[in-house]
Amino acid sequence: MSGMRVLLTGAAGFIGSHVYRALTGAGHEVVPIDLMVPAAHGPDATAPPGVARIDVRDGAALDGVLRGIDVVCHQAAVVGAGVSAQDAPAYASHNDVGTAVLCAAMDRAGCRRLVLASSMVVYGEGRYFGQRCGRVEVASRRPEDLAAGIFEYRGPDGESLTWDTVDEDAPLRPRSLYAASKLAQENYAAAWAAATGSTVAALRYHNVFGPDMPRDTPYSGVAAIFRSALEVGQPPRVFEDGGQMRDFVHVADIAAANLAAVERPLPGFQALNISSGRPISILEVAATLAVARGGPEPVVTGGYRAGDVRHIVADPGRAARALGFVATVDPLDGLARFAFEPLRESAGVCAPSV
């Protein structure tokens, strides 16, 4: 496809910077913007050369950069699970109001294509089935089971349930402040597409990792938290029994998925799992990093956090069919390399102020 003009929000962030390189490397003209919030970039951070410091909640500023844009690639967001109920206004303001203002500005500019960074957190828990009871819709795990070290879900007759892959038609049941804000982003984008005849590719990222990932903070991904412990000679501490299954996807594959979504317009609103398709356990993540660094073995704590998801594993088939996207980095190989790749220094000890 011939080069397009792409507005890239969050262009200086962990994922956004990789997306920027993928888009420009493919010959597209990228207009990069980023608010450079101190909680993500540090208190004295300045925007990289060529990146305009713009808040997506500022409609007038967006009007100035949307002229002649063919597609918007929207990566800007406050991330993390939401450590405190006091974080809710920041998530709602930056993620949801920001997306609503962006969509309104796109309408004024006549830009009809949006690639939205969404997340697997919109699903909440994954899917489960039992040999005797079949597919089961689960609620929260019982505190008494967790306290007794019973971490797997059980069916109506007490049978231990097995996880199944989650496709894009699974129920959306967010369990954190961040998850609630990501689902709201999708809802605003879907409503905008329906009202204006526009198109949205909502890319539901699974567990992203790779070079330039933020260091150990309450808002970092678990791979960075394990890595940070190993760097100072401490064992990675693994909650529950370490058997929680996830789909870890390398940031280079995330960038490739965004490039594919920019270059291949899809009709209406479409949500797509962006994942490796090769699930691994949290204990495997910790052990792979520990072996690569020659550091102490992981410690399985048996501890738990209320509201944590037990298993969430993606079905990647729809993205392969719709975008031709298939992840190329094996998670275990990527994690072994990640053990020594650079991390981003971050001041992200709390969510940004509203």
The pLDDT score that the predictor gives to residue 351 is 61
As a whole number, mean pLDDT of residues 203-230 equals: 87
- Residues 50 and 29: their CA atoms lie apart, in Å, by 12
Closest CA to 41 of 78, 68, 5: 78
| Tokens at 100, concatenated | 């609503």
The pLDDT score that the predictor gives to residue 81 is 60
As a whole number, mean pLDDT of residues 97-110 equals: 98
The pLDDT score that the predictor gives to residue 44 is 77
Residue scoring higher pLDDT (186 or 351): 186
Res. 332 pLDDT band, cuts 50 70 90: very high
Rounded to the nearest 5 degrees, what angle is found at the Cα of 169, between the Cα atoms of 164 and 173? Answer: 80
As a whole number, mean pLDDT of residues 111-130 equals: 96
Separation of first and last alpha carbons in the chain: 39
Res. 107 pLDDT band, cuts 50 70 90: very high
- Residues 271 and 93: their CA atoms lie apart, in Å, by 23
The pLDDT score that the predictor gives to residue 307 is 78
The pLDDT score that the predictor gives to residue 32 is 98
| Tokens at 317, concatenated | 């088939």
Res. 345 pLDDT band, cuts 50 70 90: confident
The pLDDT score that the predictor gives to residue 216 is 65
Res. 17 pLDDT band, cuts 50 70 90: very high
- Residues 227 and 289: their CA atoms lie apart, in Å, by 7
As a whole number, mean pLDDT of residues 12-27 equals: 97
Rounded to the nearest 5 degrees, what angle is found at the Cα of 20, between the Cα atoms of 31 and 78? Answer: 90
Scored b (16 or more CB within 10 A) or e, 67-89 reads eebbbbbbbbbbbbbbbeeebbe
**Which stretch of DSSP H or E encloses residue 263?**
helix 251-263
Range with the lowest mean pLDDT among 77-86, 98-107, 146-155, 271-280? 77-86
Rounded to the nearest angstrom, the gap between the alpha carbon of residue 2 and the centroid of all alpha carbons in its chain is 29
Q: Is the pLDDT of residue 226 over 70?
A: yes
Q: For residue 253, how many other CB atoms are within 10 A of its CB?
A: 23
- Residues 16 and 35: their CA atoms lie apart, in Å, by 12
The pLDDT score that the predictor gives to residue 220 is 62
- Residues 94 and 82: their CA atoms lie apart, in Å, by 13
Res. 344 pLDDT band, cuts 50 70 90: confident
Average pLDDT, the chain: 93
Closest CA to 276 of 317, 336, 244: 317
Rounded to the nearest 5 degrees, what angle is found at the Cα of 81, between the Cα atoms of 294 and 300? Answer: 35
3-state helix, strand, coil in the chain (%, to 5): 35, 20, 45
Closest CA to 217 of 89, 88, 39, 339: 39
The pLDDT score that the predictor gives to residue 352 is 63
Res. 346 pLDDT band, cuts 50 70 90: low
| Tokens at 278, concatenated | 């090769």
As a whole number, mean pLDDT of residues 74-81 equals: 86
Q: Which stretches does DSSP call E strand in the chain? A: 5-9, 29-33, 71-74, 113-119, 127-130, 134-136, 162-164, 199-205, 207-209, 213-214, 237-238, 245-246, 248-250, 269-274, 280-281, 299-300, 343-344
Q: Is the pLDDT of residue 349 over 60?
A: no
As a whole number, mean pLDDT of residues 159-179 equals: 94
The answer to whether 256 and 323 have CB atoms below 8 angstroms apart is: no
Closest CA to 109 of 55, 56, 62: 62
Q: Is the pLDDT of residue 29 over 90?
A: yes
What residues does 74 pair with on adjacent strands?
A: 9, 116
The pLDDT score that the predictor gives to residue 106 is 98
Q: Is the pLDDT of residue 353 over 70?
A: no
The pLDDT score that the predictor gives to residue 80 is 73
- Residues 174 and 171: their CA atoms lie apart, in Å, by 10
Kindly give the residue spans of alpha helices, DSSP state H, lying in the chain. Answer: 14-25, 38-41, 59-65, 88-91, 98-109, 143-147, 177-196, 222-231, 251-263, 282-293, 317-323, 331-338
The pLDDT score that the predictor gives to residue 139 is 87
The pLDDT score that the predictor gives to residue 1 is 62
